[in-house]
Amino acid sequence: MEDGHLPVLVQEVMTMLAPAPGSLQVDATLGGGGHAQRILEASSPNGRLLGLDADPAAIVRVRARLGSRFGDRLVLRQANFRELAAVAPAADFGAVDGLLFDLGLSGFQLADRERGFGIRTGGPLDMRFDPSHGVPAAELLATLDAVELTGLFRRYGEEPQAAGIARAIVAARQIAPITTAEELAELIVRVAPAGIPGRRRIHPATRVFQALRIAVNAELDALDEALAAAVDLLRPGGRLVVLSYHSLEDRIVKRFFQAERRGCVCPPSVPVCVCGRSPRLRLVTRPSLTPAAAEIADNPRARSARLRAAERLAA
């Protein structure tokens, strides 16, 4: 455990990345620094790692915990991974041997009572990874109409009770604004309690919280941009490893890997390839990897994790 955060699928990540001495690695979602620490240990004595995180608290925390131990082998930048194409070359990581995306929230973010990420932790409904940019979740709840909220909850949360929850939010804000995680969670429990058809054994507010967080941080658009940049940065033989935690993320990763494995983007009606696009990735995991029962028992947050890895082919 890294001071309250358990990194997920650590051994599998290390096997897929296979960091070697002298290699250049990027952890594009630094979080608690658990994966970064192990990558630096495995690439000793001269491997280097660039750690990115949109959350300034993550950069401060990892610098305090790992900075003195690894010195200039650890390079930290506060940046969203959608900025990877610009940030990595500027930090002298223009061609790298491994790239990791761990797309889940860290235990630190879930436990932060000032950010509103956690249903049970509570706090102001902010949900921004970088508190200095973007619109907080409470503002979306206050300004979007019922149709827009319904669409948001369905698209980003796959919430079957989206319409009813949206109408309840609009009605409730006529009396008082919804500004805290506790208020939102309580409203959802009243409107869509656990145990209704189509709902897994999760807190009734889980999908709505997910949808708001994705919308606030434009996570899915950022992931598309980041994956494309990652392939451009990888040297031939370099590995791209992605940990996702819900179907929307995993679908994007799976389709991206398949497209880069296929190469050609000509329509089926064209008998011969005319686009000239060559495959750029080879799948390393087929199918994806998931945590073992023992890991889930130790870290229940790992239960939905799915790991996909691919290797860069020669240009």
Looking at the fold, whether 260 and 210 belong to one and the same domain comes out as no
* Boundaries of domain holding 161: 110-217
Residue 315's pLDDT is what?
Answer: 66
Asked which of 167, 197, 217 is the last residue of a domain, the reply is 217
CATH code (residue 15) = 3.40.50.150
Place 308 in a pLDDT band, splitting at 50, 70 and 90.
Answer: very high
* Rounded CA separation 111/280 (Å): 39
Place 6 in a pLDDT band, splitting at 50, 70 and 90.
Answer: confident
Looking at the fold, whether 171 and 303 belong to one and the same domain comes out as no
Looking at the fold, whether 118 and 184 belong to one and the same domain comes out as yes
| 262 in Cβ contact with 279 (< 8 Å) | yes
Q: Is the residue at 4 inside a domain?
A: no
Looking at the fold, whether 228 and 91 belong to one and the same domain comes out as yes
Residue 239's pLDDT is what?
Answer: 98
pLDDT in tens, 39-49: 999 999 999 99
Cβ contacts of 39 within 8 Å, gap of 6 or more: 14, 17, 19, 25, 27, 47, 49, 98, 100
Q: Is the residue at 1 inside a domain?
A: no
* Rounded CA separation 282/258 (Å): 9
Asked which of 217, 234, 256 is the last residue of a domain, the reply is 217
Looking at the fold, whether 66 and 193 belong to one and the same domain comes out as no
Q: Is the residue at 41 inside a domain?
A: yes
- Six-digit token pair at 220? 């899915």
Express as a percent the part of the chain with pLDDT over 70: 95
Strands 96-102 and 24-27: parallel
Amino acid at 149: L
| 48 in Cβ contact with 36 (< 8 Å) | no
Q: Is the residue at 2 inside a domain?
A: no
Q: Is the residue at 98 inside a domain?
A: yes
Looking at the fold, whether 121 and 194 belong to one and the same domain comes out as yes
Looking at the fold, whether 149 and 82 belong to one and the same domain comes out as no
Average pLDDT on 169-180 reads 96
SS3 of 95, please? coil
Distance of CA 143 to the CA centre of its chain: 26
Average pLDDT on 162-184 reads 97
Residue 267 has pLDDT above 80, yes or no: no
CATH code (residue 152) = 1.10.150.170
Strands 96-102 and 234-244: parallel
- The total number of structural domains that make up the chain: 2
Looking at the fold, whether 78 and 143 belong to one and the same domain comes out as no
Looking at the fold, whether 238 and 142 belong to one and the same domain comes out as no
Closest CA to 141 of 104, 103, 181: 181
The mean pLDDT of the chain is: 92
Distance of CA 125 to the CA centre of its chain: 19
Q: Is the residue at 73 inside a domain?
A: yes
Is the bond into 136 cis (omega within 30 degrees of 0)? no
Looking at the fold, whether 116 and 209 belong to one and the same domain comes out as yes
Helix 34-42 / helix 56-70 crossing angle, nearest 10 deg: 30
Residue 300's pLDDT is what?
Answer: 87
Q: Is the residue at 5 inside a domain?
A: no
Looking at the fold, whether 104 and 180 belong to one and the same domain comes out as no
Asked which of 202, 217, 232 is the last residue of a domain, the reply is 217
- Six-digit token pair at 163? 């319409």
Q: Is the residue at 142 inside a domain?
A: yes
Greater model confidence, 81 or 315:
81
> Which residues, listed in sequence order, are joined to residue 96 by a DSSP beta bridge?
234
Looking at the fold, whether 104 and 121 belong to one and the same domain comes out as no
